[in-house]
């Protein structure tokens, strides 16, 4: 999937779950040059931990860099062993320019 963001655009926190079967990981590739072709538009990850506050992460990507993220859950070690944490991702508001991103999502497209 090729995504184009312009000034003022953003993407709300979400999970890419399409079809009954979906792969547990997806890939996001930055195709534009940050600070030269766009400002803002950071990749946001929010980890919803059980019985605790959510934790937000910002992932800065340069042109050509990729990140592999979980589609839905990840195991996290806690005081009583491992627990499943829910992840959502999104994009902060683009402040200027245009940002192109390639998203590789593997799912059952029935």
DSSP annotation string for the chain: -EEEEETT--EEEE----SS-EEEEEEEEE-S-BTTTEEE--EEEEEE-TTS--EEEEE---TT-EEEEESSEEEEEETTEEEEEEEEEEEPPEEEEEEEEEEEEEE---
List 83's β-bridge partners, or say none: 76
User: pTM of this prediction?
Assistant: 0.85
Specify the higher pLDDT residue, 20 or 48.
48
Domains of the chain, start order: 2-107 (2.60.120.620)
- Say how far apart CA 4 and CA 44 lie, in whole Å: 16
54-69: pLDDT as tens digits: 899 999 999 999 999 9
22-28: average pLDDT: 89
């Amino acid at each position: 999937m090729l995504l184009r963001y312009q000034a003022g655009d953003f993407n709300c926190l979400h999970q890419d779950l399409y079809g009954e079967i979906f792969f547990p990981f997806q890939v996001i590739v930055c195709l534009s040059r940050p600070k030269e072709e766009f400002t803002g538009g950071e990749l946001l990850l929010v980890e919803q931990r059980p019985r605790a506050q959510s934790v937000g992460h910002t992932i800065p990507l340069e042109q050509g860099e990729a990140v592999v993220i979980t589609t839905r859950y990840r195991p996290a070690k806690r005081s009583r062993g491992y627990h499943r944490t829910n992840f959502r991702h999104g994009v902060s508001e683009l402040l200027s320019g245009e940002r192109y991103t390639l998203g590789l999502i593997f799912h059952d497209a029935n």
